[in-house]
Chain A
Amino acid sequence: MGTIGNYSLQLALLFACIGVGVGIYAGVTRREDWTRVAERSVGVVFGFTSLAMVALFYALATNDFTNEYVAAHSARSMELYYRLSALWGGQAGSLLLWVWMLTAYASGALFVNRHQHRALAPWVSAVLLGNAVFFLSLLTFSTNPFATVETVHVVSDGNGMNPLLQHPVMMIHPLMLYTGFVGFAIPFAYAFAALITGRLDTTWFRVTRRWSLFAWAFLGVGLMLGGRWAYEVLGWGGYWAWDPVENAALMPWLVATAYLHSVMIQEKRDMLKIWNLVLIGLTYSLCLFGTFLTRSGIVQSVHAFTNAGWFTPVFLTYTLIMAAGFFIALAYRSRSLRSANRLESVVSREASFVVNNWLFMALLVMVFWFTMYPVFTELTIGEQRSWGPVWYNLFASFIGLGLLFLTGFGPLIAWRRATGSSLRRQFLVPGSVGIATAVVLGLWIQREPMAIAYWAMSAFVTAAIFQEYGRAISARMRRGESAFQATISLLQRNQRRYGGYIVHLGMVLCLVGIAGAAFNKESLANVRPGDSAALDEYRFEYLTADPIPEQHYGGARARVALYRDDEPLAVLAPEKRMYWLEQQPNSIPAIYSTLREDIYIILTAIEPDGSATLKVYRNPLVNWLWAGLVLFSLGCVAVLWPTPQRNQAA
């Protein structure tokens, strides 16, 4: 099977190279027959990469330890589903997954558009296959997942996967992130094709709209799931540490969010055309850069991936070439991208989208600068310096507040120029709700002004969304529909607007939950069996600790009884596991979740004298973050749901 995998990769690379050449030829000569050949070669490459994936899955499933990659990342003791997910547990396998997804997306996009936009097709094929050539070259020549071990050295059992990754969320987290990262190659390729062919109307982003939304939704959910995993498994009480690897996935998502919003202005008013091309070029470049950053190890990270010396210059060069090609084409076309329309007023919907773009860019620059700071200082002053999470949080909280404000302001403000009466009509109720919330919370809580600002702003945005829905629904009800029918027809007829409001509502819930972190409390206590520790009105009684029944991990499981105001709530069981094969300890927290807060307990250690050291956290409102994730996902489903074309508003 390994040889099948090897040959599949080589054939995929061969056909990808051919496809790039054919695509360019077809594009230059504008021949439909050669365009078809280019498109078909995309399909062929997809076929071969799929074969390679099957071969690697087979090797993992059958514990084929003659395969170096399988031996390095899998083990007999792991369940089948984890052994299969080990495919993306290491560098070579995840690069294979990347290129497989790329060719899958490419085949899909070209198939769906096989009867239209024929002028763009050859260039789209060339760009996508060009990217595939790079990844397939890496796989064939440098980091081959089918490399075999000499018979003398074949082990009887593999190294196993990092036990932290053996968790349901970690199984799908990389898949979701890649579905996001790789998905942005599609709008990028169409934008690039538009620049090359000079077809600079709205076609390139309208065609790829659903693809962009799909990728963005998966990247967003993937990011939040990563946070959930960190919360449940890493046991430090939080969900986001501004770790370089986290930031690597966040940066493209920030720019992509700006892009998804900004294209609406080009559609409605033929403005921000250069902005939109810049945003998609930047998004995809950041996807490549993020892939690079995660694997290169050039920035110290909690996530220690291997650091091969050739990787950094090779990958960085490729990313820069791809980005440079795009932006050079953009510069070449910039004259024809000037808009006839001008911004008429700062108090307008167009202007708020421009401000939106700038705020996201500010966030991006901040995250990029802080993340890469150790690399910059090493290159300039010879020693690495870093900025801690405190700094990220400071700037992010200010910029985020502005973005949250725009979430409410943007949909309500008039086009072109808002008048006094339109402002009054739109903002009276939501504005009052926001201000009232600020006053009430301010008087009640009397500290943490940033958190109060977020909650007040959230109230403003929520009121704005309900006002929009309310007015539209009552208008339809006056024509005889029920409230429920009206809601459904709104979601069908103006899917992007009303589905988008649900996505916004999800983000609002998330921010409400995140703001709760300003009131987090923690405590470290050492207790003998039978004794209790306390945190505010909560009491933690340490009952016993038992050894974990042996599986492929052992360790201790403590039993802690939780009381609030002396009312028994639950018996929680935090664990301190030891994964035998990897010799790696891992604390699994026990979490008592309510809508109001989480009580989160870590068994830090069973001390030599039999006492237990417990770390206890109180995290107010954290479950609103996960609830927001659910609503966000539902909103994305609503926006992406396939609807008959004739019902669409636009």
Chain B
Amino acid sequence: MSKGFQIAIGALLCAGLLGWYGLSNLDSDATYRYFDTLEEFIASGPEKRVGEAMRIKGYVADGSIDRRVDDREVRFRIQNDPTHAGGPPGPTFVVHYLSLETPDLFQDGAEVVVEGHVASQSSGEVFLADNVLAKCPSKFQAMAEETTPASGTEL
């Protein structure tokens, strides 16, 4: 067979070896479920999911951020819908983020994905987060609320 064919076979072999090496180091945590929304999570019953590694998406409840410097953690609550969607906020869930290192965009109302697992505590279930990801706010949504001008300046 031609040299080009030989090279192609060689390349395929290397690719296979590399893939095998990679996959043999794969553990079940490596491919994560993207996330549950808070609604899905609560509907599935948090008490049944204690210890399971997962991600939950929600919005930081206004005024709920509690930075506990001495414990080196940040506690807050997440809710399912953004605050400016109107209507009642709905159920919230307590998150203990085990670090003071919060991302830039982490603030009241921010869309967050928390990574970690559910833990059972005396006060009920709590989400222990190893990681908190905050998203750039969607400008489209914000703008939809703002088309009525605050001042009546004509142009």
A residues engaging B (CB < 8 A)?
Answer: 65-66, 72, 149, 153-156, 159, 162, 164, 234-235, 300, 302-304, 306, 342-346, 351, 354-355, 358-359, 362, 374, 383-388, 390-391, 394-395, 398-399, 524, 526, 576, 582-587, 604-605, 607-609, 611, 613, 615
Which residue of chain A lies nearest to B154 when distances are taken between CB atoms in the complex? A154
A385 to B34 Cα, complex, angstroms: 5
- Interface residue stretch chosen among B42-50, B88-96, B122-130, B136-144: B136-144
Chain A nearest CB: distance from B60 CB in Å? 12
Which residue of chain B lies nearest to A587 when distances are taken between CB atoms in the complex? B104
A235-B104, A391-B30, A607-B67 in contact; A358/B8 too (CB < 8 A)? yes
Is B121 an interface residue when CB atoms closer than 8 A count as contact?
no
A526: B residues at CB distance < 8 A: 69, 72, 100
B151: A residues at CB distance < 8 A: 156
Contact among B106, B137, B142, B155 for A66, CB-based, below 8 A: B155
Question: From residue 42 to 101 of chain B, which have CB atoms closer than 8 A to chain A?
Answer: 67, 69, 72, 99-101
A609: B residues at CB distance < 8 A: 69
A306-B138, A384-B33, A585-B104 in contact; A351/B7 too (CB < 8 A)? yes
B7: A residues at CB distance < 8 A: 343, 346, 351, 354-355, 358
B residues engaging A (CB < 8 A)?
Answer: 2-4, 6-8, 11, 15, 18, 22, 30-34, 67, 69, 72, 99-102, 104-107, 135-140, 142-143, 146-151, 153-155
Chain B nearest CB: distance from A532 CB in Å? 17
By the criterion CB–CB under 8 Å, are B138 and A385 in contact? no
**Can you pick out 25 interface pairs between chain A and chain B where the beta carbons lie within 8 Å of each other?**
A153-B147, A154-B155, A156-B149, A159-B139, A159-B142, A302-B135, A304-B136, A304-B137, A304-B138, A345-B3, A346-B6, A358-B8, A362-B11, A384-B33, A385-B32, A385-B34, A386-B34, A398-B18, A526-B69, A583-B137, A604-B100, A604-B102, A605-B102, A608-B67, A615-B101
Known: A358-B8, A391-B22. 4 other contacts (CB 8 A): A234-B104, A374-B34, A386-B31, A609-B69
A159 to B69 Cα, complex, angstroms: 35
B67: A residues at CB distance < 8 A: 605, 607-608
By the criterion CB–CB under 8 Å, are B3 and A351 in contact? yes
B101: A residues at CB distance < 8 A: 524, 604, 613, 615
Which residue of chain A lies nearest to B67 when distances are taken between CB atoms in the complex? A607
A362 to B142 Cα, complex, angstroms: 42
By the criterion CB–CB under 8 Å, are A156 and B153 in contact? yes
Which residue of chain A lies nearest to B11 when distances are taken between CB atoms in the complex? A358
Chain A nearest CB: distance from B95 CB in Å? 17
Which residue of chain B lies nearest to A610 when distances are taken between CB atoms in the complex? B69
By the criterion CB–CB under 8 Å, are B140 and A306 in contact? yes
By the criterion CB–CB under 8 Å, are B31 and A524 in contact? no
By the criterion CB–CB under 8 Å, are A395 and B148 in contact? no
A390 to B137 Cα, complex, angstroms: 27
Name, among B100, B107, B138, B148, the residue most crowded by chain A CB atoms within 10 Å (CB to CB): B100
A235-B104, A346-B7, A607-B69 in contact; A162/B136 too (CB < 8 A)? yes
Contact among B15, B22, B137 for A394, CB-based, below 8 A: B22
A72-B143, A362-B11 in contact; A156/B155 too (CB < 8 A)? yes
Contact among B2, B18, B102, B143 for A159, CB-based, below 8 A: B143
Chain A nearest CB: distance from B53 CB in Å? 13
A385 to B155 Cα, complex, angstroms: 49
A579 to B141 Cα, complex, angstroms: 18
Chain A nearest CB: distance from B115 CB in Å? 11
A615: B residues at CB distance < 8 A: 101
B11: A residues at CB distance < 8 A: 355, 358-359, 362
By the criterion CB–CB under 8 Å, are A586 and B139 in contact? no
Which residue of chain B lies nearest to A387 when distances are taken between CB atoms in the complex? B31
B2: A residues at CB distance < 8 A: 342-343
Which residue of chain A lies nearest to B143 when distances are taken between CB atoms in the complex? A159
A149 to B72 Cα, complex, angstroms: 49
A343 to B140 Cα, complex, angstroms: 57
A100 to B155 Cα, complex, angstroms: 30
A358-B11, A585-B105 in contact; A385/B136 too (CB < 8 A)? no
By the criterion CB–CB under 8 Å, are B30 and A65 in contact? no
A287 to B25 Cα, complex, angstroms: 33
Contact among B3, B69, B153 for A342, CB-based, below 8 A: B3
B148: A residues at CB distance < 8 A: 153
By the criterion CB–CB under 8 Å, are A65 and B3 in contact? no
A355 to B149 Cα, complex, angstroms: 62
Contact among B30, B107, B135, B138 for A388, CB-based, below 8 A: B30
B139: A residues at CB distance < 8 A: 72, 159, 162, 306
B136: A residues at CB distance < 8 A: 162, 164, 302-304
A388: B residues at CB distance < 8 A: 30, 32
B22: A residues at CB distance < 8 A: 391, 394-395
A302 to B149 Cα, complex, angstroms: 30
B138: A residues at CB distance < 8 A: 304, 306
